[in-house]
């Protein structure tokens, strides 16, 4: 266990002005508070907060953060209160410890809704003071280092949570060293065989290339020195999890990876970075497409370096990262680098938020909480944003837009503005028209073609890569559906008021909203449109004295009088199968009985025959979902096609009509079908609410064009809400 003086010495190495008395008091206080508590390993519990503090000293953090780390479990696991810590150590440290206590209570790996809500709370807590996040990440790192002491079930849960939440969050804050260790520890426990395989191969490769690495380091250092550039050149090897991820993502074997080894060149000034690139590209040929300048366009986690790949000594591909020492600090420590002690001077705490793009990203993410309608959407958005491999694109006016790898113009449009995304209908990439699904690459200039009144298709949600785009598409789709229901509801309510002999006005409806338990008129109309509220209740809410004496009759197709009415209107009813047994279809086998699928098929459909031994052949439209049941029985499939050039036969089809429940609606639909030269075989009713009627018609038509013409004409009937063909 780390001794009291050792903790003070660790801090004094980078902060000669540390408050030793504060550190000593925190050490003694926490040790007494935890008393005889033990960890799963059997060690005194107090060793854990000390190790967390030790990790933070490696990040060279301020006294308040170190003390908060030492005390971070006292409120949760002992009888200590926040008020007591405020009194003894000050409100700043008390606030940090309280924030960490709240995070300790969160269980991120749980049911999805609870997980999303807890993750939202986590980000809210760390948005107040990012040092809470730094302590939390150090806490998680030490827990991962000692994870072998807990049960296998708990081990897997914690490792999954770390890989899913904490490692990406550390990366998003620019803390790459910490992220690498968290990922590798999680990888070891979640996929031990894969971890062992990759680690062994990396170790073998390191031994094989040890001399080559030294040769390249020496040759590159000497070449730069000849040009007057003092640089530190070091070879580096990719981490096991990074290697495994690339193998999985690109479906590569280990032997196919060409960038397992790389070299980092650290210089003093920014202009020297570009001089290094000039020297390197002059001496060795560059690999096309492998140059990235993150100095002029930093990543959103503040990462800055120049990346290039050259064919170096021995015809080996050599990947180089060139950066200054300050850039190297940020690349290693991320957001913590803004609070480093430099030359004995402590960085001011407010500078942390002002200097760090990563922290500003965190604040923007919190602001997006208001845009998500549920914690799950927020979790989805944030998780997508955490994985920050990016492409950089530009608007026609030169605005830089950073997007995740694999993003499309859809994501670009929503990154510019939600309204731009909602109205997008096309895109120009580098001046040429391109599909909205085209993947973007670094340097693309993207112009979005817009059309006012456009509603984004719901299918875009599965195509979009960014959480912001997905959430906006989902929201626009919901709003469009809501507007459609509200429009239908308005028609229903207007007809209800007309039947009641009353005048409808929004001014009269507004005072009645509390009686309808709705907060807005649109809510009422949408509820009526969805069938959740009876239109008569709206009339009664506005005119409480109104009593509805008449109920809309529901026609009974079994009544003789009803059939006489339909006959008089020219509608002819036939029994199922009246189209005849001799089907005009080529490709049928022998004299087997042939029938149509339950919902029919018509000329113009692509069709397939399914043979059932002992029963015959059933003809299905190729788009019928029922065919999925025969996917594993190819021997039953028959290649059939229509032979209807001279046929005047009628063929079965099924349609579903949702209409307003009012007198004459059924008659209007049946009349239109008859007027179009189709027969009605059968009608069934699904009465959903007092305001709606859903009718299923089995009809007979000549072909697909005939059927589509009937559907189009039905859709324009004023009482009809929805018409569609049923394919089963």
Considering the domain architecture, whether residues 291 and 164 belong to the same structural domain is answered as no
Q: Which residues pair with 293 in a beta bridge?
A: 306
**Residue at 512 is within a domain:** yes
Considering the domain architecture, whether residues 184 and 290 belong to the same structural domain is answered as no
Q: Which among 339, 358, 376 is the end of a domain? A: 339
User: What residue ranges of the chain have pLDDT lower than 50?
Assistant: 106-113, 340-354, 369-370, 372-373, 384, 387-388, 550-581
Which domain range does residue 482 map to? 477-542
pLDDT at 370: 45
Considering the domain architecture, whether residues 50 and 173 belong to the same structural domain is answered as yes
Considering the domain architecture, whether residues 719 and 571 belong to the same structural domain is answered as yes
CA distances from residue 280 to 23, 218, 230, 322, 420 in whole angstroms, order as listed: 48, 14, 14, 11, 43
**Residue at 26 is within a domain:** yes
Considering the domain architecture, whether residues 486 and 618 belong to the same structural domain is answered as no
pLDDT at 512: 85
DSSP code string of 268-300: SSHHHHHHHHHHHHHHSPBPTT--EETTTS--T
pLDDT in tens, 263-275: 999 999 999 999 9
**Residue at 643 is within a domain:** yes
| pTM confidence score | 0.56
Q: What is the CATH number of the domain that holds 262?
A: 3.30.460.10
Considering the domain architecture, whether residues 154 and 19 belong to the same structural domain is answered as yes
Considering the domain architecture, whether residues 573 and 517 belong to the same structural domain is answered as no
**Residue at 252 is within a domain:** yes
pLDDT at 197: 92
The C-alpha torsion from 243 through 247 and 248 to 253, rounded to 10°, is -140
Considering the domain architecture, whether residues 167 and 214 belong to the same structural domain is answered as no
DSSP conformational letter for 15 = -
CB within 8 A of 3, min separation 6: which ones? none
Please state, as a whole number, how many other Cβ atoms lie within 10 Å of the Cβ of residue 599: 19
Considering the domain architecture, whether residues 512 and 580 belong to the same structural domain is answered as no
Considering the domain architecture, whether residues 695 and 633 belong to the same structural domain is answered as yes
Catalytic residue positions, numbered: 76-77
Q: Count of domains in the chain? A: 4
Considering the domain architecture, whether residues 592 and 618 belong to the same structural domain is answered as yes
**Residue at 223 is within a domain:** yes
Considering the domain architecture, whether residues 300 and 163 belong to the same structural domain is answered as no
pLDDT at 104: 62
pLDDT at 449: 93
pLDDT at 237: 84
pLDDT in tens, 106-143: 444 444 445 555 556 566 666 667 788 888 899 999 99
- For 610, the token pair is 């399914």
């Amino acid at each position: 266990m780390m001794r009291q003086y050792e903790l003070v010495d660790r801090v004094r190495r980078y902060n000669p002005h540390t408050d030793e008395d504060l550190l000593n008091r925190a050490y003694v206080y926490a040790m007494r508070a935890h008393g005889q508590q033990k960890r799963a390993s059997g060690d005194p519990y107090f060793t854990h907060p000390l190790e967390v503090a030790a990790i933070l000293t490696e990040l060279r953090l301020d006294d308040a953060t170190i003390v908060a780390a030492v005390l971070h479990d006292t409120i949760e696991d002992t009888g200590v209160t926040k008020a007591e810590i405020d009194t003894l150590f000050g409100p700043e440290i008390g606030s940090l410890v309280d924030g960490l206590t709240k995070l300790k209570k969160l269980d991120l790996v749980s049911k999805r809704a609870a997980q999303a809500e807890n993750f939202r709370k986590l980000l809210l807590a760390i948005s107040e003071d990012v040092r809470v996040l730094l302590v939390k990440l150090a806490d998680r790192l030490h827990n991962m280092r000692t994870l072998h002491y807990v049960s296998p079930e708990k081990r897997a849960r914690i490792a999954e949570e770390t890989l899913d939440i904490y490692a990406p969050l550390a990366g998003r804050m620019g803390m790459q060293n910490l992220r690498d260790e968290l990922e590798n520890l999680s990888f070891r426990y979640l996929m031990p065989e894969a971890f062992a395989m990759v680690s062994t191969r990396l170790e073998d490769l390191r031994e094989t290339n040890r001399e080559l690495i030294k040769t390249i380091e020496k040759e590159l250092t000497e070449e730069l020195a000849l040009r007057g550039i003092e640089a530190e050149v070091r070879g580096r090897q990719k981490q096991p999890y990074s290697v495994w991820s690339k193998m999985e993502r690109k479906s590569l074997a280990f032997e196919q990876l060409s960038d397992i080894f790389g070299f980092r060149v650290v210089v003093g000034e920014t202009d020297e970075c570009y001089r290094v690139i000039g020297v390197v590209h002059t001496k060795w040929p560059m690999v096309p497409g492998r140059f990235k300048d993150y100095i002029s366009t930093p990543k959103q986690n503040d990462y800055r370096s120049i990346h290039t790949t050259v064919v170096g000594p021995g015809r080996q591909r050599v990947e180089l990262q060139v950066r200054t020492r300050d850039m190297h600090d940020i690349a290693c420590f991320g957001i913590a680098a803004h609070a480093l002690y430099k030359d004995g001077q402590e960085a001011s705490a407010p500078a942390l938020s002002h200097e760090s793009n990563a922290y500003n990203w965190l604040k923007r993410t919190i602001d997006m909480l208001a845009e998500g309608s549920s914690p799950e959407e927020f979790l989805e958005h944030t998780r997508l944003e955490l994985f920050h491999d990016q492409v950089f694109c530009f608007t026609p006016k030169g605005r830089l837009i950073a997007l995740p790898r694999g993003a499309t113009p859809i994501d670009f449009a929503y990154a510019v503005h939600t309204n731009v995304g909602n109205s997008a209908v096309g895109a120009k990439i580098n001046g040429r028209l391109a599909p909205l699904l085209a993947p973007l690459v670094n340097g693309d200039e993207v112009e979005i073609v817009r059309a006012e009144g456009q509603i984004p298709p719901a299918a875009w949600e599965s195509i979009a890569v960014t959480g912001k785009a997905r959430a906006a598409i989902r929201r626009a789709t919901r709003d469009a559906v809501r507007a459609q229901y509200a429009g239908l509801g308005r028609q229903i309510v207007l007809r209800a008021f007309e039947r009641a002999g009353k005048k409808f006005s929004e001014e009269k409806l507004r005072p009645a909203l509390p009686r309808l338990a709705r907060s807005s008129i649109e809510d009422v109309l949408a509820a009526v449109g969805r069938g959740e509220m009876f239109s008569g209740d709206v009339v009664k809410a506005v005119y409480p004295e109104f009593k509805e004496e008449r109920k809309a009759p529901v026609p009974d197709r079994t009544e003789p009088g009803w059939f006489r009415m339909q006959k008089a209107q020219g509608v002819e009813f036939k029994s199922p199968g009246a189209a005849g047994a001799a089907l005009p279809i080529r490709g049928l086998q022998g004299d087997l009985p042939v029938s149509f699928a339950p919902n029919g098929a018509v000329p113009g459909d692509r069709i397939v025959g399914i043979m059932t031994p002992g029963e015959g052949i059933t003809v299905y439209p190729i788009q019928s979902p029922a065919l999925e049941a025969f996917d594993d029985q190819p021997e039953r499939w028959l290649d059939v096609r229509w032979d209807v050039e001279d046929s005047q036969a009628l063929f079965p089809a099924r349609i579903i009509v949702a209409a307003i429940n009012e007198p004459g609606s059924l008659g209007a639909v049946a009349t239109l079908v008859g007027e179009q030269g189709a027969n009605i075989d059968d009608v069934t009713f699904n009465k959903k609410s007092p305001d709606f009627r859903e009718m299923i018609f089995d009809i007979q038509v000549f072909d697909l064009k005939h059927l589509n013409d009937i559907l189009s004409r039905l859709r324009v009937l004023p009482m009809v809400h929805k018409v569609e063909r049923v394919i089963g």
